[in-house]
């Protein structure tokens, strides 16, 4: 439960945790850390499995189909990740799926950069010196003479 007093604490340890001594709270903390480590290991294992599966070769039949569709692809570089990309490409083209197009574009490294320009037009940020004014006068005189 969040602390209602507004203090920067995350938890209100009232109830059954209120009267625990330091060894008991350390034991609970250890259990939490062990559970967290187990979950992290599972996630890492899943990531490693996904990478391994993506790098495996598809069946000969699928490899031939990919080679027929994309003749310029080197036969040695055809793996399941190429198969997945080809399916994303196919979906983007056949179904005109914008999301599939974006995934393919981003994977190809062509994602546009999201930039936001912050402009402060307040007068306090403008520093004009006498030299600036003199230079502006010279420019105006040149333009008038021309």
* pLDDT at site 120: 63
pTM of this structure:
0.47
Per-residue exposure over 36-70, b if at least 16 CB sit within 10 Å of its own CB, e if not = eeeeeeeeeeeeeeeeeeeeeebeeeebeebeeee
Report the distance separating Cα 46 and Cα 43, nearest Å.
5
Span 78-93, average pLDDT: 92
Kindly report the number of other CB atoms within 10 A of residue 117's CB atom: 4
* 8 A C-beta contact, residue 107 and residue 81: no
Residues 6+ apart with CB under 8 A from 4: 12
CB neighbours of 9 closer than 8 A, spacing ≥ 6? 3
Q: What is the mean pLDDT of residues 125-141?
A: 78
When pLDDT is cut at 50, 70 and 90, the band that residue 122 belongs to is low
pLDDT tens readout for residues 17-64: 677 788 888 888 888 889 898 888 888 888 898 889 988 999 999 998
pLDDT at 2: 52
């Amino acid at each position: 439960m969040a602390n209602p007093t507004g203090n920067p604490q995350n938890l209100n340890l009232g109830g059954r945790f209120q009267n625990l001594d330091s060894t008991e709270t350390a034991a609970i903390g250890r259990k939490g850390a062990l559970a967290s480590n187990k979950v992290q290991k599972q996630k890492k294992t899943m990531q490693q499995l996904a990478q391994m599966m993506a790098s495996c070769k598809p069946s000969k039949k699928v490899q031939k189909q990919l080679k027929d569709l994309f003749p310029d692809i080197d036969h040695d570089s055809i793996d399941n990740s190429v198969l997945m990309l080809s399916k994303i490409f196919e979906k983007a083209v056949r179904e005109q799926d914008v999301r599939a197009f974006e995934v393919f574009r981003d994977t190809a490294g062509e994602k546009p950069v999201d930039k936001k320009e912050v402009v402060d037009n307040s007068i306090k940020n403008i520093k004009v010196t006498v030299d600036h004014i003199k230079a502006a006068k010279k420019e105006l005189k040149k333009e008038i003479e021309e």
